[in-house]
Amino acid sequence: MIEFSSLIAGIALLLLLLTAAAKGWLASRPLGPEPAASEEDATEPCPAELVNRIFSREDWEFVRGLKAGGIERLFEQERKRVALVWVCQISAMVRKVMREHAQAARQSKNLRISTEINIFAQFLVLMAVCGILSAAIQLAGPLWLGGLAHFAQRLSQRVSKVQETIRAGALSSAREAGSA
Partner 1 sequence: MLSQGIWWSSIVLEVFLLARAASARLIFRYPVFYGYISFVLSQSILRSLVHRWYEQGYKRVYWTTEFLGLAMGCWIVFEVYRVALAAYPGTARMARKILVFLFVLAASKAAAALWSDPHLLVETTPLQVERALRTVQAISIAALVAVFVFYSIPFGRNLRGILLGYGLFVGERVICLTFVPPQGHHFWFYAASASYPVALSLWLFYMWSYQPSPVTKDSLQLEYDYQRIAAATRRRLQETSGYLRRVVRS
Residues lying near partner 1 in the complex (CB under 8 A) are found at: 2-3, 5-7, 9-14, 16-18, 20-21, 25-33, 99, 101-113, 115-116, 118-120, 122, 151, 154-155, 158-159, 161-162, 165-166, 169-170, 172-174, 176-177
Q: Least Å distance between CB 78 and partner 1? A: 29
Q: Least Å distance between CB 164 and partner 1? A: 9
175 close to 112: Cβ distance less than 8 angstroms:
no
Comparison of 81 and 154: residue with beta carbon closer to partner 1: 154
Instruction: Give alpha helix (H) positions in 37-145.
Output: 37-41, 48-55, 58-65, 69-105, 113-140
155 close to 126: Cβ distance less than 8 angstroms:
yes
Comparison of 115 and 138: residue with beta carbon closer to partner 1: 115
Comparison of 57 and 161: residue with beta carbon closer to partner 1: 161
Q: Least Å distance between CB 36 and partner 1? A: 15
Q: Least Å distance between CB 133 and partner 1? A: 14
Q: Least Å distance between CB 112 and partner 1? A: 6
Q: Which of 122, 120, 112 is nearest to 158 (CA)?
A: 122
Q: Least Å distance between CB 77 and partner 1? A: 30
Comparison of 17 and 68: residue with beta carbon closer to partner 1: 17
* Phi (first) and psi of residue 131, to 5 degrees: -65, -45
Cα–Cα distance between 152 and 159 in angstroms, integer?
11
Q: What is the CA radius of gyration of the chain?
A: 21
45 close to 157: Cβ distance less than 8 angstroms:
yes
Comparison of 66 and 121: residue with beta carbon closer to partner 1: 121
Q: How many CA atoms lie within 13 A of 100 on its CB side?
A: 22
Comparison of 15 and 135: residue with beta carbon closer to partner 1: 15
